[in-house]
Amino acid sequence: MKVLVTGGLGFIGSHTVVELQNEGYEVVIIDDCSNSSEKVLDGITAITGKRPLFEKIDLKEKSKVEDFFKRHTDVQGVIHFAASKAVGESVEKPLLYYENNIGTLVYLLKELSRKSKSSFIFSSSCTVYGQADTMPITENAPVKAAESPYGNTKQMGEEIIRDTCKVTEGLNAIALRYFNPMGAHPSSEIGELPIGVPQNLVPFITQTGVGLREQLSVFGDDYPTSDGTCVRDYIYVVDLAKAHVVALQRLLGGKNKTNYEVFNVGTGKGSTVLEVIKSFEKVSGKKLNYKIVDRRPGDITSAYADTTLANEELGWKAQFTLDEAMKSAWDWEQKIRS
């Protein structure tokens, strides 16, 4: 069975390709390599023993999307990761984000709408909840007005998919709202490789630990949390990748209850920034150079998932601890800098 993974050379996409190939799926990757590298194919091949098909396509080029689906009529499932994802950049370049994250989604759904049957998994985000009123966050929590164009593209993306599923017989979709992915494959063949300054906490920690960054800034220690720093739900990327596979299997097996479903994907446990730093110090045996600075505009106090729905409906549960995920991130960082 052939599955298309857009953005399949990216951080979460590449780990999902590995899990799909481990389950026996034939995978074809579309990636424009704007935030990734074709070298990732070598890592996927080293882990699975099989090289996925790869086409370097910019999904903003509608004619190329149409051409792809004409040539690959046997694609039965699509997992859609390809998107721009830097919150700060989205504020500076909103039109780039709306074109790249919304336009490409529309082109994909148009092609899937022409098929008699298709399954679509959307890479969504807990950003749709904003600062939720209660913790942990369930799927019934209200979607709040987005703080950034990036967050807005995730909200709009979900709405576009839901509206399309309402009027398209044979199209079934699941949006996975994930929390804070981290870590690397245990083989250290693939992992998170941010271009430029990392946007996420964990690669900034590991880059500081390895000496690439001089110091980590912790934004605020006066939040109403156990130690004053922000709380997030950090999920190991391999656990997250497996959630995409079981979600796809749910659709392909006709187990979905409606033609559009939403699931939170997290650990169900919140960790403060200082707890994440302590985890790094524990697994690496190194003291991290960090300083407390002023709060950063737009940061919410706390966000962690209620994963009951995914646990019960998908039969999926996060297996790895924060320390285990952090160890994989540190192993990967050391490997790529050696």
Choosing from 150, 223, 234, 260, which is the catalytic residue? Answer: 150
C-alpha–C-alpha distance, residues 179 and 127, integer Å: 8
Rounded distance, CA 336 to CA 338, Å?
A: 6
Strands 171-178 and 260-265: parallel
Residue listed under structure tokens 């106090």: 301
Report the distance separating Cα 141 and Cα 138, nearest Å.
6
232: nearest Cα among 260, 259, 201, 255: 201
Q: How many C-beta atoms lie closer than 10 Å to residue 79's C-beta?
A: 29
Residue 29: name the closest of 1, 57, 4, 46 by CA. 4
CA pair distance 269, 49, nearest whole angstrom: 35
Give the burial string for 154-171 (b: 16+ CB within 10 Å, else e).
bbbbbebbbebbeebeeb
Active site residue 98: no
Catalytic center residues: 150
